[in-house]
Amino acid sequence: MLSKTIEAAINAQINAEFWSAYLYLSMAANFEADGKKGIANWFNVQFKEEQAHAQIFMNYLYSRGARVLLKPIEAVDTEWATPLDAFKATLTHEKKVTALINELYALAESEHDYATREMLTWFVNEQVEEEESAQELIDKFTLIGDNGFGIYTLDKELAARVYAEPSPLAGE
C-alpha cells in the first residue's frame, strides 16, 4: 500500500504529464497551422508519449490499490514564432519534468518505498532521452537558422517520427 504522500505526489505527476501532453498538442496545432507538418508530427508523437506517461502512473496507482484523482489542466501557450522557439520551450519544460521526477524519486527513497522508486527509474532514464532529443533539435534549428531549404529538409525528417508505445505499457 502506498502512503498518502506518495499517492498525492503521483496524482500531481499525472496532472503534470497531461499538462505536458496538452502543451505538445498545442505546439503541434501551431505548426500544423504554419504548414510545417513534419514539426507538427513530432509534437503529435510527443503528445501521445506524454499521455502514455500519465497512463503508466495511473496503472501504477491502480496496481497499488490507490486512487487516481484527475484535476483540471492549466492553460498552455498557443503560439511559437519559430520551431527553434518551440524546441527551446520544450527543453525548458522537459528540465522541469526531470526535476519533478527526481523529487518523486527522492520522496520514494525518503519513505523507503522501493517499489515506487523502482518504477520511477524508467522515468529517470526517459527524461535523459527527452532532454537529449530536445537539445539535438535546438542544435539543428540553430545551425539551419533562417535557411528555408534547411527548415524544409528538417521538417521532412521530423515527419518520419512514429509513436512507439513505452515499454511499461507494452508489458516489457
Predicted local confidence at residue 171, as pLDDT: 67
Number of H helices and E strands in the chain, helices first, is 6, 0
Kindly report, residue by residue over 47-73, the tens digit of the pLDDT.
999 999 999 999 999 999 999 999 999
Kindly report, residue by residue over 72-105, the tens digit of the pLDDT.
999 999 999 999 999 999 999 999 999 999 999 9
Per-domain boundaries in the chain: 4-162
Predicted local confidence at residue 170, as pLDDT: 77
- Dist. CA 30–CA 34, nearest whole Å: 6
Contact 73, 24 (CB under 8 A): no
Domain 4-162: give its CATH superfamily.
Ferritin, core subunit, four-helix bundle (1.20.1260.10)
